Every structure is written in C-alpha cells, then in structure tokens.
Amino acid sequence: MARMAGRRTLFAAPVLLVVTFGVFAVAAASPFDPVKAYAGTAGLTASQENLDQLRANLGVDQPLVERWWRWLTSAVTGDLGDSSVMRQPVTDVITERLGWSVLLAVTAFLVAILLGTSLGVLAARRPGGWLDRAVSSAAYTLEAAPAFWLGLLAMWFFALELGVLPAGGLTDTDSDVVTFGQVATHLVLPAAVLGVSQLPWFFLYVRQGVADALDEDPVRGARARGLSERTVLLGHALRSGMLPTLTLVGSRVPELITGALLVETVFSWPGIAAAAVQAATSVDFPLLAALTVLATAAVLAGNLLSDLLYGLADPRVGFDG
C-alpha cells in the first residue's frame, strides 16, 4: 500500500510537468490577449505605445518555452510569480482563497457521499418500491439540473421565501469578522447545492451495487443462515456494493471542481474557483499554471484515494495492481 502511494507520487511529478507545459502552450495558442485582459476598460482608450509597453512589462512577448522555463525554475524555489489579473503574488491569491474552496468542496462531497449512500441502500432494499422510484426519478432530474440553477432556486426558497438562511457571502454582508458560526450558516446553502448536484451519481451507483450484491450467492447465503437484515444489508451487501462507488470518489473530483466554480459565483463564495476562470480568460500564466498544478494534484490524489479505499474495502484487490 505504501509502495503504491509512493509510486503514484513519483509518477505525479512528470505528469504535473507535462500539464504545466500544456497550460502554457494552450494559453499561448488561445485567442485571448493577456495585455488586453490586463488593461480592461482602460485599454479601450490606451494608445498602442502604452499597450506595447505593458506587453513588455508583463513579459508576455517572450517565447513560450522561455516563459514556461522561467516560471518553472522560480516555482521550484517557492516563488510562484505575480498574478497579473489580481495584481498580487500568486501565493497570496492562493492562500487567501484555497481554504474556503476546500471547505466548500469537502463538505459538499461528504454530503453527497453520506446522503447518496444511505438513500442508495434504502432504495436497493426494495427495488421498485415507492422510495426507490421517488429518489431515482429525483436523481435523474438532478443529474440534468445545472448547479447554477439549483443555486438560484435554493437561494429563492431558503433565503427569500423562508428567510432562514443567508443568501450569499462567507459571513454576514455587513460583518467584518469571520466567526465559526457565521461561516457555518453561510456554508449550508452552497455546500448543500454543490453536494446535491453530485448526489445522483453516488446514489445511482450505490443503489445498483447494493441491489446486485443482494442477489449474489454470499449475501443470499448470509440471509439463509438467518443473519439479521441489518447485518446482511450493511455488513455484506453494502460492503461489496460500495466497490464501484469508491472508484467514483476519485473520478468525481474534476466534476466537483467545475461545480464549485458555478456555486462560488452564485453565492459570492470567496474561493479559488472564480479566480481560476479569471486567470484563464485573462491568460494570466503564473496564476493559471499554479492553479492547474493544484487541480491536477487534486485529481491524482482523488484517484489514489479511491484505489486505496478500494483495496481496503475488498481484500481481494491488491495494492500493486
């Protein structure tokens, strides 16, 4: 197990290297002009001379490979450069925002996994029953519903109609202090929306897996031996039915990141996802590269995590595989 984790980590380094180069290459080939993005509306009245000077100052007139190499060499010494779109060091941008995104994503993920698994088990117990039918059709609807729309709907219902939850932000809008209680209340809606938008996949996988397992010989045997329904369901069926779901944990990470982006925008959540879009449309190389490294690392870690979990849940699966 440790060997697998170590091997994967070693493998991650070249992957990250290739990915960052890819980001620089794709960004350089994109039709967006970093100078125009930097100048914004001011660029509409700037002279060509002024824009040319900006191009030189920002260092975006240099060849792709040179730019990438310069970024890479300073990145390994811990200097991630300055973000042109945020007008501050990349490390500042990331430290200010990353934590809030992680909090949102992790909470949402737990909501999706816990809720999806429990509903899945309940539905699998009586396939075709009322609970199964209701939750399944809701899950298919949710799969198609954009997170953005869900967010607006949730805000309308809980903030406007019921008035029980805040409509956005990290803390009360007129408050300067970040307290645990405030963050917790403000986290409920965005995390629930993001979690619920991820829920269908977990629900459907668990439901299928557990239903299949209930039909398998070992489970039928357990039932025949007179073990309690609870033990059969949770001890046997869930355990083998969870296997495909564990793989899902890793593969949902990218989806979670894109979902977070929309949810962060709707709820004015001060996370990193919104910065990522700005970095991309502004061809802000240093910020874009750093964020891509982070996202890639998250995906690789997600995959590693699901493989580890898979191994733990099913002793037949080796860690070297």
Partner 1 sequence: MLSRSIRGAAAATLAGTLAITAAACSKPGESGTAHGAGDSAVVGIAYEPETLSPLLGYGKDGNSKIFDGLLTFDDDMKLRPALAAELPQVSDDGRTYTYALREGVQFSDGEPFTSKDVVFTYRTILDKKTNNASKTELDAVKDVRAEGDHKVVFTLKYPYAPFAERTVLPIAPEHVAGEQDVNSGSFTTKPVGTGPYILTGWSKGEKLSFKANPGYWGGAPKVKKFTMAVIKDDDVRATRLRTGDLDGAILPPDLANTFKDDDGRTTYAARSFDYRTVTLPTHNKVAGDTDVRRALDVAVDRRAMVDKILDGAGKPAYGPVPTDSLWFAKGTERTHDLAEAKRILDEAGWKPGADGIRVKDGVRARFPLWYLSGDKLRQDHALAYASDAKKAGIDIKTQAGTWEVIMPRMKHDAVLAGGGAPGDPDFDQYTLLQSSLAGDAFNNMAWYDNPAVDKALKKGRESGETADRRAAYDTVQRELVKNPGYTFLTHIDHLYVVDDKWSGLTTQTEPHDHGLASGPWWNVEDWTPKK
Handedness of CA 97, 98, 102, 108 (dihedral sign): positive
Least spacing, CB of residue 133 vs partner 1, in Å: 28
39 contacts 283 by C-beta, under 8 angstroms: no
Out of 29, 63, 76, 87, the only residue in the binding site for partner 1 (CB under 8 A) is 87
- Candidates 50-58, 118-126, 128-136, 230-238: pick the segment binding partner 1 (CB under 8 A): 50-58
E strand map for the chain? 82-83, 88-89
CA–CA distances in Å: residue 111 to residues 65, 148, 192, 215, 263: 43, 18, 7, 28, 15
Question: Minimum distance between the CB of residue 13 and partner 1, rounded to whole angstroms?
Answer: 24
In the range 240-279, which residues lie near partner 1 by CB under 8 A? 264-266, 268-271, 274-275
Stretch in the footprint of partner 1 (CB under 8 A) among 62-70, 83-91, 128-136, 218-226? 83-91
Question: Which C-beta is closer to partner 1: that of 36 or that of 223?
Answer: 36
Among positions 151-210, residues that touch partner 1 (CB under 8 A) are 152, 155-156, 159-160, 163-170, 172-174, 176, 180-182, 184-188
Q: At what angle do helices 147-154 and 253-266 cross, to 10 degrees?
A: 40
What does the alpha-carbon distance between residue 116 and residue 124 come to, in Å, rounded to a whole number? 12
Shortest separation between residue 100's beta carbon and partner 1, angstroms: 9
Judged by CB under 8 A, the number of residues near partner 1 is: 74
Q: Which is nearer to partner 1, 54 or 135 (CB)?
A: 54
Contact positions with partner 1 (CB under 8 A) in 114-153: 114, 152
Integer CA distances (angstroms), 84 to 39, 214, 282, 286, 287, in order: 10, 57, 9, 8, 8
Is the CB of 293 or the CB of 313 nearer to partner 1? 313
Residue in the block written with tokens 């296997």: 243
Q: Which is nearer to partner 1, 109 or 211 (CB)?
A: 109
Give the 3-state secondary structure percentages of the chain, helix then strand then coil, rounded to 5: 75, 0, 20
Does 317 engage in binding with partner 1 (CB under 8 A)?
Answer: no
Whether the Cβ atoms of residue 35 and residue 280 lie closer than 8 Å to each other: no
Binding residues among 283-312 for partner 1 as defined by CB under 8 A: 308, 312
Answer yes or no whether residue 48 interacts with partner 1 by CB under 8 A: yes
